[in-house]
Amino acid sequence: MSTAIVWFRRDLRLQDNPALDAAARAHERVICAYIHAPDEEAPWMPGAASNWWLHRSLGSLDSRLRERGSCLHIRRGAALATLAQLCRDSGAVAVYWNRNYEPVPALRDAHIKQALRADGIDAQSFNANLLAEPRDVHTQQGGPYKVFTPFWRSLRAQLQPRPPLPAPVRIAAPLLDGSVGLDALKLLPSIRWDAGFEAQWRPGEAGAHALLERFIDDALVDYSQGRDQPAEDLTSRLSAHLHFGEIGPQQIVWRLLGEDRPRSERGRTAAEGFLREIGWREFSQHLLHHFPHTTLRNLNAQFDHFAWAKDDPGVLALWQRGRTGVPMVDAGMRQLWATGWMHNRVRMVVASFLTKNLLHHWQHGARWFWDTLVDADLGNNTQGWQWTAGTGADAAPYFRIFNPVSQGERFDPQGDYVRRWVPELAGVAAPLVHQPWRDADLLRRTGYPQPMVDLRESREAALAAYRDMRAT
């Protein structure tokens, strides 16, 4: 009987999993394996919040496999050596996996494919997590896009909704020794800072589809108007599920453009608006593929000469803990710490405050998000921070500085979001809740801090530094 290995990574699902589908069709027995080798992703090994999600997602995947007569074989060690040993132990003649497009894992995977094939093992990889291969979306001159709108126009024209591949009903697998228990990976924190995560999230394939159904039924029709309001539950919250491959973008496209597509004009408009946001995820991966250096360096090399402030751990700590004295910023940073997630509008506000009002390099923010977000994704994280800092592709111009007060008054007009996450201000009405420093007695009563910088003065300092860079 022919045996194959399916190497699970960022594709922790059974439905619409092309590597699993191909293996199940071509072989009588399939070994489902996960290899824990975080050092092979350096310098961007998964952060603490990502590891929390991964632990539960792997557990969910193992449960679903056991329902089908299989299990998830968990190993630790170098990926190539572990796969080669698995092949020897099982007699597997093929290894299948779905592609990871991050620069370091992509190079590793290419080496693994070459080495396995040289050893006589059939090694095949598939696209499970993007709408299109990054190389297949290009300008008329054949180069990569650096502006989102023409990129999305090109990608949108290529979209062909297709029904998802079915999950295998039964998976026959040989008995194997050598697996380790999930707890042995030590993905969960020893100090339980994750208490708030349990109530917020349901990692795994079933949780992803339940969230998609809720979003389509309850929020999609209002998405275009409500997605910028952090106090409202009108976003999909699918980002972590997409990152870990518990659901694929093609499955979402099928729900929105396929047989179950919205019938009303308003519904179709809302679906297109949401698909455009999925397009931003694709754009981030496109940039990561074509400009892999941007995870550590500016895409716009002019900013290599920008006069960032000297690193100040005390300043960074106030920002990280949500103690800046600016309510919209503090609310976002506290939401992040408590839940592992932050509303996208607020992500832009807190990133602008760090890079432009505090003049700290965007890498400090990218690293903090990487460790604290359950949806930490290298493409999205890099693109988001470079966009806000003004250093990347299709970036907000450096002189566009988000004012956290006006952003709060516009997108949280009643102050509900701030009051939820900054309990010191729970009894303060809008608009004062967005600028409590106007009432010195209020600050004394609540213990809420004064702003760590003057918003107007720090804005002018940022603009002056930008002018100096351009002159240089």
Q: Is 280 a catalytic residue?
A: yes
38-69 per-position pLDDT tens digit: 999 999 999 999 999 999 999 999 999 999 99
Judged against a pLDDT cut of 70, whether residue 339 lies above it is answered with yes
pLDDT score at 177: 87
The H-or-E segment that residue 330 falls in is helix 327-339
Q: Is 79 helix (H, G, I), strand (E, B) or coil?
A: helix
Judged against a pLDDT cut of 70, whether residue 262 lies above it is answered with no
Cα 304 from Cα 294, distance rounded (Å): 12
Percent of all residues in the chain with a pLDDT value above 70, rounded to a whole number: 99
pLDDT score at 1: 83
Q: How confident is the model at residue 265 (pLDDT cuts 50, 70, 90)?
A: confident
Indicate whether this model's pTM tops 0.85: yes
Which of these is catalytic: 41, 127, 232, 308? 308
pLDDT score at 178: 86
- What residue ranges define each of the domains in the chain, with the CATH number in brackets? 3-128 (3.40.50.620), 129-164+205-290 (1.25.40.80), 301-471 (1.10.579.10)
Which of these is catalytic: 201, 280, 387, 421? 280
97-130 per-position pLDDT tens digit: 999 999 999 999 999 999 999 999 999 999 999 9
231-253 per-position pLDDT tens digit: 999 999 999 999 999 999 999 99
Q: Is 421 a catalytic residue?
A: no
What integer is the mean pLDDT of 333-337?
98
Which of these is catalytic: 44, 53, 385, 387? 385
pLDDT score at 109: 98
What integer is the mean pLDDT of 332-339?
98
Judged against a pLDDT cut of 80, whether residue 261 lies above it is answered with no
Which of these is catalytic: 201, 254, 362, 370? 362
Q: Decide which of 29 and 178 is more confident.
A: 29
358-390 per-position pLDDT tens digit: 999 999 999 999 999 999 999 999 999 999 999
Cα 165 from Cα 67, distance rounded (Å): 18
Q: Is 344 a catalytic residue?
A: yes
Cα 322 from Cα 330, distance rounded (Å): 4
pLDDT score at 307: 95
Which of these is catalytic: 40, 127, 337, 344? 344
Cα 361 from Cα 386, distance rounded (Å): 10
Judged against a pLDDT cut of 90, whether residue 132 lies above it is answered with yes
pLDDT score at 401: 93
Q: Is 308 a catalytic residue?
A: yes
pLDDT score at 46: 97
Q: Is 337 a catalytic residue?
A: no
Q: Is 261 helix (H, G, I), strand (E, B) or coil?
A: coil
Which of these is catalytic: 40, 272, 277, 409? 277
Judged against a pLDDT cut of 90, whether residue 83 lies above it is answered with yes
Handedness of CA 393, 396, 397, 399 (dihedral sign): negative
pLDDT score at 455: 97
Q: Is 362 a catalytic residue?
A: yes
Q: Decide which of 32 and 192 is more confident.
A: 32
